[in-house]
Structure 1
Amino acid sequence: MPRPALQGPTFVRLLARLTDAEAARAALVPADRLSEWIDWTRAVALSKVLDARPAPPDAPGTPSAHDPDAACARVRATLAQAIASAPELATPQPGAPSDDANLGNTASDPAPDFAPLRQRCLTLQRAMQAAAGRLRGELREMLAQRSAQAARLAEVDAVMEGALAPRESALLGAVPALLQAHFERLRAAAADAEPTVHDAWLDGFRRDMQGVLSAELDVRFQPVDALLAALRTP
Structure 2
Amino acid sequence: MAKASTRTPVPGPAFIRLLARFSDADLPRTPPVLTERLADWFDWNRALVLSRALDGSLPAAEDGADAEEAHDAECVRVRHVLMEAIDADIAPPPPDRKDAPAIDDDYQPYRQHCMAAQRAMQSATGRLRGRLRDALARQSPAKARLAEVDAVMEAVLSPREQMLLAGVPGLLGLHYRRLREAGAPCSTDTSAAGPWLARFRQDMRMALLAELEVRFHPIDGLLAALRTR
Out of 114, 117, 122, the position equivalent to 1:124 is 117
5+ residue gaps, structure 2, are: none
Deviation track 1:51-100 (CA, whole Å, cap 9, x = no partner) reads 1132222x22585696101110111011112212x212xxxxxxxxxx6x
Aligned equivalent of 2:39: 35
Pairwise mapping of residues 111-190 of structure 1 onto structure 2 (< 5 A)? 111=101, 113-190=106-183
Closer, same or farther in 2 for the Cα pair 1:32/1:20, shift >3 Å?
Answer: farther
Closer, same or farther in 2 for the Cα pair 1:122/1:226, shift >3 Å?
Answer: same
Closer, same or farther in 2 for the Cα pair 1:206/1:133, shift >3 Å?
Answer: same
Aligned equivalent of 1:207: 202
Out of 86, 89, 101, the position equivalent to 1:87 is 89
Q: TM-score, normalization: structure 2?
A: 0.85
**Are 1:103 and 2:63 matched, yes or no?**
no
5+ residue gaps, structure 1, are: 89-98
Amino acid at match of 1:132: T
Q: Is the 1:15–1:24 Cα contact (8 Å) retained in structure 2?
A: no
Runs of 4+ in structure 1 off by over 6 angstroms are 193-196
Aligned to 2:27, the other structure's residue is in SS state helix
Amino acid at match of 1:226: G
Q: Is the 2:132–2:223 Cα contact (8 Å) retained in structure 1?
A: yes
Amino acid at match of 2:37: R
Question: 2: distance between equivalents of 1:162 and 1:11?
Answer: 22
Q: Is the 2:50–2:149 Cα contact (8 Å) retained in structure 1?
A: yes
**Are 1:78 and 2:81 matched, yes or no?**
yes
Q: Is the 2:179–2:196 Cα contact (8 Å) retained in structure 1?
A: yes
Closer, same or farther in 2 for the Cα pair 1:205/1:133, shift >3 Å?
Answer: same
Question: 1: distance between equivalents of 2:99 and 2:228?
Answer: 58
Closer, same or farther in 2 for the Cα pair 1:29/1:121, shift >3 Å?
Answer: farther
**Are 1:227 and 2:217 matched, yes or no?**
no
Q: Percent identity?
A: 48
Aligned residues: 220
